[in-house]
Each structure stands twice: as C-alpha cells, then as structure tokens.
Structure 1
Amino acid sequence: MGHHSYLVVGDSQFLYTRDDYNEELAALFNETDRELSVTDGSDVTSGDELDESACALGYYTTANALRQRLHVQGFTSSRALADLAEGIAQWRKTYDSQSQFRELEGRGERVFQTLVRRPREPAELLAAIGEAIRPHRSEKSFATVQEYFQYEDEFAETVSDVQELRWFVGERSLVRLIIDQAPDDTRAGLDLGELTGCCVSLDATQPIAGPTRERQLAALPDSAPLIVLTEGSTDSRLLTEAMHVTHPHLVGFVRFIDYTGTKARGSAGALAIMVNAFIAAGVANRFVAIADNDAGGHEALAKLKRQKLPVGCQVLHYPDLPLLASYPTVDSASATVSLTNVNGVAGSLEMYLGEDVLTIDGTLAPVHLGTFIPAVRCRQGALSKSHKVLVLKAFEEKIKKARLGQRSDTSHWSGVHAIIEGIVQAFG
C-alpha cells in the first residue's frame, strides 16, 4: 500500500505523495512550524534512540498564515482560480479523448468508466472542497447508513479530483484553492508521520522545511534572467539596444534594469547604493553591477569592491579598450591635444559606442581632463557636453540601421561587444 505524506487542512487530507514528500509543499513551511511527538517517551532529539515508528512528524500553521505565504509568492486567489479554470479545461479534453477511446473499445467500457470521471465545473469543485474541509460528520449524524456512505463517497471523490488536478494545475495554486475554502484559524500543515515508520528512510530528527526552502531559493537564479545594474537610464537603454545587435541570443536571458518612469539619478555613487540595497534585500537573481571605466567610477565603487559580496553578485567596470590606450586628450590648463591612455580615466559609455560615432568632422572627439581624484590617483576625463550629445545621437542612428539589417563594420561594435562579453563572463 505504501506510505504517504499529505496536506492537512482541518480534518481533511489532500495532495498525497507516496513514500516521499512534495518539495513545493514542504517549502511553504518554516522550521518553527515543525511538530514532532512520540508515543513511547523516546528522546526526540536523539536519532540513535528514537523509535521512528512511534513518531508523529509534521509542519503545521494556520490557513491564514499559509494563505499569506502563498500570496507574497504571487499565488493570489485570482491566479489560482485562473489556473483552475485552465486546468479543468485541459482535464476535460483528456476526458473527452478517453471517452471516445472507451466507445471504440466496446466491451472495455465499464472498466474505463471506473477510471475516468468527467471533471466538475470549477465552482462545483470548490464548493465540494469547502464541504470536505468542514469537520467530518459521524455516522450518527445521518438519518440512514446509506446517507452516511453517500457522504463518504462524495468526500473521497473530492479528494480524488484534487489529486487528479495535479496533472493540470501547479501545486501551489492547488494549495491556494484549498486554503481559500478554510477559515483563517483552521489548522493546516504537511503530515509526514507515515514516512517515519518502517520501510521508509526519513530521519525524523532532521529539519525538512528549512533545507527544502533553501534548495528552492538556490535553484531560482538558474532560471531567472541575469540582472544588470548600470549607472543610469542612458547606459541601461543603450546597452539593451546594443545587445539586440551584438548578442541577440541573450535577449530574455540578460536584463538591464529599466529606469523608465523613475526619478533615479544616474551616477556611480547611486549604483553603489543600489547594489547594497539589492544585497540587503536578499535578491535571489544573480546580478551584475557595471560602472564607467573612469576615475569617478573607480572611486565610487572602491569600497564596494573591497567588501565580501554574495556569490550571486559581481561588480565590474567597462573593460579597457585598445582605442582608449592612445586617445586624443586635452588638458584643462592647455589647448594642446596629446595622445593619452584614458582607460580608467574617461571610459564612460560614449567611449565604447564605436570609433565611427566618436569621429566628428573627421577627427576623434577629444577627452577633456578635469579634477584630480586622490583616491584613484588620476584625473577625471570626459567628452565635452556638445560632443557627447552628437556621439549619442549618432549611435542611436547606428542602432536603427543595424536593426534594419544595415550593420556597419564589426570593428565599430567592438566596444559594446566587449561590455556584453564582460557581463557574460562575470561569474567565471
């Protein structure tokens, strides 16, 4: 017959799992919900002496607590109801196809009729679940024994329907549907008692819900997009557009933060604050913070780079470029133009948009050196405001042409290509 774990709501049991426990159910509980008791007086903290066959093990809370946990995960009542409607529609298609098969089988009709039951309407099923959750009535509550057995059959049919729906509706949506039929203070939990007896290997002294939840969270970054934090909206927008050209295969897998509609100010300092906020919030996605490769960017992120970062976080700067190793530079004290290495000095995004767009009136737009920053022992450099506007405008036009299939020389995309590659390789 086997041993089962199952969801308990009030006096009713749903969602049976044979010889194991469902991890999605277990992850809905905390270790503070754990209840372990024995009937023979054994020491419940000693795995060597504990007679696990005499254990009552489970995780229990209230319907309201479970409902709120599901809600903050996005499993709202409306979502669960939509999932139920879709699931029953799929179940009905399966039923109809098997019904046709049953008719063709002829003599096998009676056998198939016992295996396949037409799904109920969502409202009818929810009402039946609500009835099932109410305290079980004893045989004495019915006028006749026949009425009692009819009630028991209906109860068993409802439990069976919920079990069948696992093929068509997600586990947490099903839990939400069941819990929504129960009063707030109804006892709800995951009963693991049958898994602690003979012929099963569950160690009743070991935590279950906590480690299961940790595994669930650890698996999330493997499927979620890599988030990229930038200094501001312009960098985020232009790199998103550039990625569609240089790395179209990463669209949907790498997501630059969208500042649209926000009043977030763009700077390396603001980026550092945002990274610390992500870390403090325990954001589950892996994320990369990437700043300008200039004096201000290195100064602003210096402290952040010295601290121990979570395994899912990397802090980068735009990479050094050969073009910037010998670039026209103007010192504020002189009008003389000289060729200077501006990697780490003036490597803002504009410098990575391509030699073609940086060329204005036949020459490269020069970098102007400004304030000396003692922390990084170099001066901050940048294009003039007028040249920056022209470079950004030219890059926008280059993007439009590329999206129309009129891509320019690949060398003119090497800068943004190097940035995206750096992001891809950020975790080694």
Structure 2
Amino acid sequence: MGHHSYLVVGECQFLYTRDHYNEELAALFNESDRELVVADADDDTRDDGWDERGITLGYYTTANALQQRLNVQGFTSRRALVDLAEGIAQWRKVYDAQSGLREREARGEQLHQTLARTPRVAAELLEAIGEAIRPHRSQKSFATFQDYFQYEDAFAETVSDVQELRWFVEDRSLVRLIIDQAPGPMRVGLDLSELTGCCVSLDTAQPIAGPTRERQLAALADNAPLIVLTEGSTDSRVLTEAMHVTHPHLADFVRFIDYTGTKAGGSVGKLATVVNAFIAAGVANRFVAIADNDAGAHEAFAKLKRQKLPAGCRVLHYPDLPLLTCYPTIEPPSSTVALTDVNGVAGSLEMYLGVDVLTIDGTLAPVHLKTFMPAVQRHQGVLSEAHKVLVLKAFEKKVKAARSRRDSSGDWSGLRAIFEKIVHAFD
C-alpha cells in the first residue's frame, strides 16, 4: 500500500500524490500554517487520523485564506472554470479515442475490459464536489446504511474524476474549483502524515511550504524574461527595434520596459527611482537598469551603485566604445572642433547607433560640452537637438531596411556592444 499526501477540505481528501507531496500545493501554504503533533505510543486519544508512529503533519488554513492566495497568483474562479471546461473537452477527446481503440480491439470477441466513464460536464462535477465536502460524512448523518454507502460510492467517483482531471487541468485551478464549493471558514490543508510512516523518509523537523515557495520564486526568475529598464521610451523603443536585427534570438528572453501610453518621463533620475521601487517591491524577475554612459548618468547612479543590490538586479551604463575615444567635440565658448574621449561624458544612446547614422553631410555630428559636474569631475556632453533628430530618423530607416532585407549591413557595433553587456550582466 502506498503512502500519499493529499488536499484536505473539511473531512474530504482530494488530489493524491504518492510517496511525496505536490510542490504547487505545498507552495500555497506558509510555515505559520504548519501543524505537527506527535502522540505517545500508548495515547488513548489516537484516532484513525494517526499513522503507526503517532505523527500527524500538515499545513492548514481556511478555504477563504486559500482563495485569496490563489487570487493574487491569478487563479481566480473565472480562470478555474475556463480551465475546467477546456480540460473536460480534452479529457473527452482522449476518452473517445480510447473507447474507439478498445472497441476495435474487442471486435469479434467479448469485451473484457469495462470502458471508462464518459467525462462529466463541468456543472455536474462541481455539484458533486459541493455535495461531497458538506459536513455529513458520518453514518449518523444518513437515514439508512444504504444511503451512506451510496454517498461514499458517489464521493469515490468524484475524487476519481478530480484525480483524472490532473492530466488536463493545472492543480491550482483544481484546488480553486474545490475550495470554491466550501464555506469560507472551512479548514483546508495539505496532509503529509502518511509520508512520515515506514518506507518514506520525510523529515518532520524540516520546513516544507517555505522552501517550496522559495524554489517556485527562483524558478520564476530563471524562466521569466530578463527585464531591462532604460531612461525612457525612446531608449526602450530603439533598443527593442535593434535587438530584432542584431540579436533576434533574444526576442522572447529579454524584455525592455514599455513606456508606451504612460506619462513616465525620460531621465536617469527617474530610472534610479524605478530601480529602487523594483527592489522595494521584491520583483521576482531578474532585471537590469542600463543608463547612458555620460556625466549626468554616472552622477545620478553614483548613490545607487553604492547600495547593496539584490542578486537579481544589475545597474549598468552603456559600454565604452572605441569610436568615442577620439570624437569631434566642441567646448564653449569656442566653436573649434577638437578630437577628445567622450566615453563617460557624452555616451547617450544616439552615440551607439552607428557611424553611418552619426555622419551628417559627410562629417560626424559633434558633441557639445555643457555643464561641468563636480561629483564626477567632468562635463556633460550632448548632440545638438537638430542632430539628434536627424540621427534617430536615419536609424529608423536603417532598421526598416535591415528588417525588410534581413540584412544587418551598416555599423551596428555600438548596439551589439550594449546587448553583449546586458547578456553578460550576471556573469
């Protein structure tokens, strides 16, 4: 006989797992829900709920509390009903296929194997679950023994149907469907008592729900797209477009935050605020904040970079480029153009879009040095607004040409360097 864990709703048991526990179910509970009771071998109060060693172990809360936990995970009543309808439809297809196969195998001879029941429709199953978990399972609650045994048979059939649906419906949706039929204060839980008996090795001293939830969150960080936070909508849009040209294989794995339709302004100061908000919220996704490689961004990020950041967070600047080590620069009040190193001074995204788009009327659009920033001991450098507009327009044409021809000719070295820095942010 196997040892099982299972969902307890009132006096009923559902969703059996043999010789272990289902991690999705365990992660629905907190360590504060844990109940462990050890009885003396000669304890006269022991009842049928005790295993041979006198240990009961499980995690218990109320139906209402579990509903709320499922709600914040997105497993609402509506979603569960949709999942159930889709699951039953899939179950019916499998049933029909199996029935047809068995009929063909039995053609010309007696059919020895009874065909499975036709899957119940959703409304009938939910009604059966509701009937099962009402508190009347003792024999004294029924007029005759026959009524009780009929109820027990119906309950066993319902449990079997729910168990069969695990092949077609996610466990958390099934939990939601079950507890939605229960009164809010009804006791529900994950019973692990059988796993403490012979032939199983569950350590009753070790927490289960907490570490399971931590593994679930870690899996989310591992599987969810890497979020990249930028200074504003232009950087996000340009980098997204460029990624489809230079790194299309990352399209489903890296997601630049979409500012479309928001009033979020584009500034490095606001980016630092967003990073701190992500940290404070405990965002499970791994995320990278990447800012310009200019004086203003280095000054604004200085405090943030001194903080102890979570393991899943990185704060970066666009990388230094060979092009920017000797770049045309104008320092007022002079109008003379000099070749200077503008890495860390004027490395806004426009400077990474390629020599081809930075070249206007045969020459590179010059950087203009502006305010001196004492905190980083350098001037802030920028392109003129007119040149910035021309560079972005030229880049849009380059992207369209590259995607229509599936040809990434031209200078993409700066953007490739940015993506490589993002890709290796957690090395």
TM-score above 0.5? yes
Asked if the contact 2:353–2:414 (Cα under 8 Å) also holds between the matched residues in 1, the reply is yes
CA distance in 1, matches of 2:383, 2:274: 26
Provide closer, same or farther for how the CA distance between residues 276 and 19 of structure 1 changes in structure 2, counting only shifts above 3 A. same
Deviation at 1:408, TM superposition (A): 5.7
CA distance in 2, matches of 1:110, 1:148: 30
Which residue of structure 2 aligns with residue 247 of structure 1? 247
Deviation at 1:103, TM superposition (A): 1.0
Deviation at 1:409, TM superposition (A): 3.0
Asked if the contact 2:346–2:367 (Cα under 8 Å) also holds between the matched residues in 1, the reply is yes
1:110-189 correspondence runs (5 A): 110-113=112-115, 116-189=116-189
Deviation at 1:143, TM superposition (A): 4.1
Which residue of structure 2 aligns with residue 325 of structure 1? 325
Deviation at 1:396, TM superposition (A): 1.1
Q: Over aligned residues, Cα RMSD in angstroms? A: 1.6
CA distance in 1, matches of 2:221, 2:83: 24
The answer for unaligned runs of 5 or more in structure 2 is 43-50
1:17-416 correspondence runs (5 A): 17-40=17-40, 53-106=53-106, 107=109, 109-113=111-115, 116-405=116-405, 407=407, 409-410=409-410, 412-416=411-415
Deviates further, 399-408 or 196-205: 399-408
Report the secondary structure of 2:53's partner residue: helix
Deviates further, 129-138 or 83-92: 129-138
Deviation at 1:108, TM superposition (A): 6.4
CA distance in 2, matches of 1:202, 1:244: 49
Which residue of structure 2 aligns with residue 13 of structure 1? 13
Asked if the contact 1:221–1:285 (Cα under 8 Å) also holds between the matched residues in 2, the reply is yes
How many residues are treated as equivalent by the alignment? 417
CA distance in 2, matches of 1:367, 1:288: 27
Deviation at 1:150, TM superposition (A): 1.6
Deviation at 1:73, TM superposition (A): 0.4
The answer for unaligned runs of 5 or more in structure 1 is 43-50
Deviation at 1:41, TM superposition (A): 8.6
Deviation at 1:406, TM superposition (A): 6.4
Which amino acid is 2:340 matched to?
T
Which residue of structure 1 aligns with residue 45 of structure 2? none
CA distance in 1, matches of 2:323, 2:406: 24
Instruction: Note the alpha carbon deviations across 1:93-146, whole angstroms, 9 max, x for none.
Output: 111011111212225634242xx2210001110110111111134334444433
* 1:422 equivalenced with 2:421 (yes/no): yes
Deviation at 1:38, TM superposition (A): 1.8
Instruction: Note the alpha carbon deviations across 1:391-423, whole angstroms, 9 max, x for none.
Output: 11111111111111164634x111111111111
Paired-residue identity, %: 77
Which amino acid is 1:353 matched to?
L
Instruction: Note the alpha carbon deviations across 1:217-267, whole angstroms, 9 max, x for none.
Output: 111111100000000000000000000011111111100000011111111
CA distance in 2, matches of 1:228, 1:427: 13
Provide closer, same or farther for how the CA distance between residues 66 and 406 of structure 1 changes in structure 2, counting only shifts above 3 A. closer
Which amino acid is 1:427 matched to?
F
CA distance in 2, matches of 1:147, 1:41: 36
CA distance in 2, matches of 1:128, 1:406: 58
CA distance in 1, matches of 2:201, 2:25: 19
